[in-house]
Structures are given as C-alpha cells and as structure tokens.
Amino acid sequence: MNNDDARDLLAINTIRTLAMDAVQKANSGHPGAPMAMAPVVYDLWQRHLRFDPNDPIWPNRDRFVLSAGHGSMLLYAMLHLAGVKAVNPKYETLGQLAVSLDDIKQFRQLDSKTPGHPEYRWTSGVETTTGPLGQGAANSVGMAIASKWMAAYFNRPDFPMFSFDAYALLGDGCMMEGVAHEAASLAGHLKLDNLCWIYDSNRITIEGSTALAFSDDVATRFRGYGWEVVDVADANNLVAVDAAYEKAKATKGKPTLIIVQSHIGYGAPNKQDTKAAHGEPLGEEEIRLTKKFYGWPEDAKFLVPEGVHEAFGAGVGARGAKLRAEWMALFDAYKKKYPAEGEALDRMQHRQLPVGWDKGIPEFPADPKGLAGRDASAKVLNVVAQNIPWLIGGSADLAPSTKTLLTFDGASTFQAGSWGGRNFHFGVREHAMGAVLNGLSLCKVRPYGSGFLIFSDYGKPAIRLGAIMEIPVIYVFTHDSIGVGEDGPTHQPVEQLVSLRSTPGLVTIRPADANEVAEAWRVLLQFRHAPACLILTRQALPTLDRAKYAPASGLAKGAYVLADPPDGVPEVLLLATGSEVYLCAAAHEQLAQEGIKSRVVSMPSWEIFESQPKEYRDAVLPPAVTARVSVEQASIFGWERYVGSAGRMIGMKTFGASAPIKDLQKKFGFDPGNVVAAAKEQLARKA
C-alpha cells in the first residue's frame, strides 16, 4: 500500500465509522449502504466531482444525487468532511459548515441539519430531496437535461458557461422502481452523455435477498435503453472505481451506468451481506468488531482523524475552488461581452423573471361561446414563453390535447443534438416527467409539464416532492372533470383535485374562463417557492362579460365575488370553480328574476384564498350568510369547509360515466336549474 492508498483508506473509514456511530446514537437509520459505498462516493468526490465546498450553489457544479436516500449518512459524512458551507435562502454563502460534527451527532433529531433522509433547502449541499426510491435517479436526468439546455442557450464561443455532469447513486430499490425505468429510457433516448448512474448492487433489500423479487439482467436492460454499462466487481477496488468514472466521462453520445458489486455493511463480521445491515443500528458490540476490522480505535466515537479534513480540502476542495474561480472570472467577462445573456443567467439563477415577462398577456373579449381552458392557456403560454426564454417544458405525449406546444418561431424541439429546443417530449412517462421537471427546476430553469388531470396520479410522488422542496414547477392538467365526456370513468377525474389541494405547499388553480386562465398564468409565474397545478377544461367555457361581472384579476386572491345583488347584501352564496362558475352565474340571474339575492364566488384557488387575511375571507364569504351551495364537477370532499355542515354540495360521488357531456351534466346535476333549486332549499332551511 502506498501513501495515497493509506490516506484514501483513512478517509473512507472515517465516512464508514461516522455513519455507524450516527445511526447507533440515533438508534435508527441505515448504516449498510454508507459502509459499502464509501469508497465509490469518496473517489467520485475526491477525484472527479467539480464541486466547490465553499460555494455549493455555484451554477456549473457537477450534481451528486443520493437516490438511495436512506443512506443519508453517506451524504452527510461527505458534506461534513469536504467542509461544505451553509447557504441561506437568499443564496448567500455563510461561514459555517452545512453539516457540523455536532449535526452528525444529532442525526435524525428535531431541527438538526441531518434529517433521516436528505432534504433540499434544509441542508446545503443536498441537491434534491430523496428517500422515495427512484426519484433521485429520475431527478438527475432532469439535471443532465438542464445542463444541456443551459449550455445551448448560454454558451458562446470561448464561453462554456454550462457543462456540468449529473451523478446519481442508486440501490436495488431504485433499480426496481418504475420511475427509474421511465427516466432511464428517456435518458437513453436523449443520449445524455453528461449523466452517470452508479448502481450499488449489493443484492439486499429490506426483506432479504433480491432473489426474492428481482431477476433483471440490469446491464442488458440498460444497454437496451442505449446506455454504456461499466462493471466494477468490487466497491473497494479504487483503481477499478476510478477507471469506471474515467470511462463515464469519456463516453460520448450516451449515459453511463456503473454497476458496482458491493457488500452491504462491509466489514461488520456478523451483519455484512445481510438485511440486518440495511436499516437498523449495528449494535455496540458489532460496531466494535467492525472498527477492529477496519483497524480503527475500537472505542472511538465520531472520530475524524487528523489529516482527513485536510485531505478533502486538497482534493475536492482545491479542484472545486479553482474551477469555480475560473468560472466566476469567465462569467464576469461574459457579462461584459453578452450583457443581456449575463443578466438572464443571473436572474434565472435567482428564480427571478425577466423585465417585461408579462408583456402582451391577452385579454379575452366577452363571448358566450367562449373557448376551452386549454385553448386560452395555449394563447397565454405562447406569449409569456416568448418573454421568458428559460420557460421550457412539454407533455407526456398529450401536447395536442393539453395545448402546451410552443408554436412561435424559434421554439424548436428538444432532442439529442438540438439541445436548445424548448418543446419537450417526455413520452408516455408521467412519473418520470414529474421527477425530471423537479431536476430541471433544481437547476433553476422554469419547467412545465402537462397531461390529463386524471393522470396526475401517475406523477403524484414527484409532484409531492416538488412541494416538499418548495420548487416552482408548473403543471398544466387538462380534461379536468366529467366534462371530458365520452372517454368515461377511467378518464374523468373525481378525487384528483382534492388530492392536489391537500398537498401542503402546492397551489392548484382551476380558472373559470379565458380571462381567469390569463390571470392564473400571471399569478403562478411569479411563484418562486411553490409548485402550481393549472387545472383546465377540455370543453369550451363562455368568456364572462367582465363589464357585468367583477374583473378576473380577483383570481390573485384565490377567490373573489364575481356577481352580487345590487345592494351587495346576499341571502345565499353560490361557490364554484372552473367550469361550474358560469352555471352559478346563470343560476344567479334566474334567482334575481325571482327576487332572490345571491352572490357568486369564483374560487379558483383554495390555497391562495386561505392565505388571505381573515377580513378579506369574511368579506367574500360573510359568516352571517349560512345559506350556501357549492358546485364543482369533482369530489365534494372538502367543500364542507366553505358551505358548512348544513350547506349543500353539488359534486361527484361516483367515478362518472361514458356519455356526451350534456347527458353527463344532466345526470349528475350540473345545470343552472339544479343550482337554483339547491339555493332555494338552503333558504327554506333557514326560514
């Protein structure tokens, strides 16, 4: 063993023992993967990763994603040993460590920087929140795409502003999950040669051997996807590991999968290669024996031997600092030579919009025939996308239906080799689309994805993670109700709205007409820390006469009074969203003719409404007016909040039916006559 080998081994064993000690002290966690994969991650960071610990948000850094999020201690140990610095929400680098040794001693404890699974925004240096297996791997595809897109948009001769690579570490679990299959297939198609997945093939998951449930020939599968596949027979063979990374970096025209054979819980005499090493503390005695095997002081805890921090400083630290400094100098020169692009890059990195981003958002004239939500959205999107160059996205094979295609000159298709295209074809892969959008957003472009609302369920885990991470991904979900008609119950969303509304931090907006669609885009584009779902109709909706009704700008408050009796003192409230608002407007007219004073409240976004001051909410929904009817072509679940226990909810209690829309509206009670009757019933109850 030469000196280098000894230094490497000391650092690797530091990672291993920190993981073992932290899990033991917390009395919960996953020691096995960090113990096994420490050499593989160490070599990546020390010898390859272009990452500056002093500025972990430097835009052109390589991304490292721990898709096997349960192995979080592996990442925390790396962040600590590499001396990664904390960054605050204003994107300022702070002096203190992102993860101190004390944080590691507080693994999995309340408010520590070392939660059970890595959390983006909470711990600096964590590139994405992982834990739900497969998600991180799919995020890394989005990151690799972002690198390609940003290179195409920003790079100029002699100014390679973007060239970063994305690495993800996957376990057997990630390999089995569908989302990783979808994402790998897309990455192969796109020939993402800046993407490298590292597969920790230890053949153990929670229930035991992977032989219980997994017989894939992974290498052949990935070759079939169009990937380069490199085998490393032993995770402890740093020469082989290093050569695999060299191969990945040298491979052009395809992503690389490195399959590493490893031993979960490496070095633990009684637990190595068993499921017992996966997700529980090794136990004091086993830890002692393992440390003995490593040649470690058996009773030392949380030991970072002298020289280990320094070795990381001389490796990843020195390389990263040099690369970042060079990039910063390049960026200064870039801003001088290409001021507009320089400003765009700066704004994009800070999640700001360009000046004039809302220029030309259309206003739609009143029109009883109107247009579909999706068509209004297409018009607005095609305007704002011209103002916001890094607004990019597409659909899971439904763009002709969701109307999300950018059709203006220059908005070409994103494909291998035409990396500057702004229209993405995610294929029929909703789950990967969501995870890829998250990866794109984490690199600060502004991504949108679209599909039918019913299939939001197919991407829900990624939508949820976007909400956890507080990143401004945009979803355009069309075909939003039984209004889809003949496609029937399998395609008619019922419980999806409830599910999205109940997701903390996610904002859903279901606009009532074309002008509300325009306002919805105006509002959601300004989000910097919240994902949004725009819920749109397939069918035409009348464009309301805003001279008669309140302006659509009320949407910015989530809910607003659309129509009122002349004296502004209603007896009954009609609450609706989206396609049911005009029904309520019609009912309001009928009631007025009968001398009944009703108020129509358009409620496109519950979440935004809930964030208004109580005075505003009470002004829109006066507590004294308890005669209330809600109308929405979706599950009634949740409307009790607004109509009260005695209110009437017109909504869906079944999965719908296959029929022309008119017949469905009649069958399920969505017509003005039914709303009028419900309003009268409410008033009779009160009288």
**With CB under 6 A, what is the number of residues at the site for ligand TPP?**
19
On whether the CB atoms of residues 311 and 11 are closer than 8 A, the answer is yes
Pick one of ligand TPP, Mg ion, none as the site partner of residue 320 (Cβ within 5 to 8 A by kind). Answer: none
| 93: nearest Cα among 56, 49, 61 | 56
202 versus 481: smaller Cβ distance to ligand TPP = 202
Q: How far apart are alpha carbons 13 and 467 in whole angstroms?
A: 36
Q: Which does 569 bind (CB under 5 to 8 A by kind): ligand TPP, Mg ion, none?
A: none
User: Where does 338-476 have alpha helices with state H?
Assistant: 339-349, 373-387, 399-402, 430-442, 456-469
Residue with Cβ nearer Mg ion (123 or 202)? 202
The DSSP call for residue 48 is I
Cα Rg, the chain, nearest whole Å: 28
Active site annotation includes 430? yes
CB of 199 to ligand TPP, least distance (A): 10
Is 131 an interacting residue with respect to ligand TPP (CB under 6 A)?
yes
* Number of H-type helices and E-type strands within the chain: 25, 22
CB of residue 202 to ligand TPP, shortest distance in Å: 5
Please select the residue that binds ligand TPP; options are 77, 133, 465, 525, rule is CB under 6 A.
133
Residue 597 touches which member of Mg ion, ligand TPP, none, C-beta under 5-8 Å by kind:
none
**Nearest residue to ligand TPP, by Cβ distance, number only:** 171
Q: How far apart are CA 23 and CA 288, in angstroms?
A: 14
Q: Which two tokens stand for residue 610?
A: 């809930």
CB closer to Mg ion out of 70 and 479: 70
- In angstroms, the CA 620 to CA 609 distance is 10
Is 174 or 520 the residue whose CB approaches ligand TPP more closely? 174
Site membership for Mg ion, residue 21 (CB under 5 A): no
Residue 540 interacts with which of Mg ion, ligand TPP, none, CB < 5 to 8 Å by class: none
**Residue with smaller CB distance to ligand TPP, 173 or 393:** 173
Among 171, 188, 389, 461, binds Mg ion (CB under 5 A): 171
Residue 459, token pair as written in the block: 């991407």
The interface mask with ligand TPP, positions 192-231, x = CB under 6 A, is ----------x-xxx-------------------------
- Select from 25, 50, 63, 70 the one that contacts ligand TPP (CB under 6 A): 70
Sites for ligand TPP among residues 143-172 (CB under 6 A): 171-172
**Residue 536 interacts with ligand TPP (CB under 6 A)?**
no
Of the CA atoms within 13 Å of residue 248, those in its CB half-sphere come to: 28
**C-alpha atoms less than 13 angstroms from C-alpha of 267 in its C-beta half-sphere:** 26
Burial label for 208, CB within 10 Å (0-12, 13-18, 19+), is middle
Name which of residues 593 to 622 contact Mg ion (CB under 5 A).
Answer: none
Residue pair 387/525 in contact (Cβ under 8 Å)? The answer is no
39, 56, 132, 558: residue in contact with ligand TPP (rule CB under 6 A): 132
Any bridge partners for residue 629, and if so which?
574, 648
Report the C-alpha gap between 404 and 399 in whole angstroms. 5
Give the DSSP per-residue string, 77-96: HHHHHTTPEEE-TTSPEEEE
Token pair 């809910």: residue: 559
Active site residues: 430
Q: Residues in the site for Mg ion, rule: CB under 5 A?
A: 171-172, 202, 204
Q: Residues in the site for ligand TPP, rule: CB under 6 A?
A: 32-33, 68, 70-71, 131-133, 171-174, 177, 202, 204-206, 264, 278
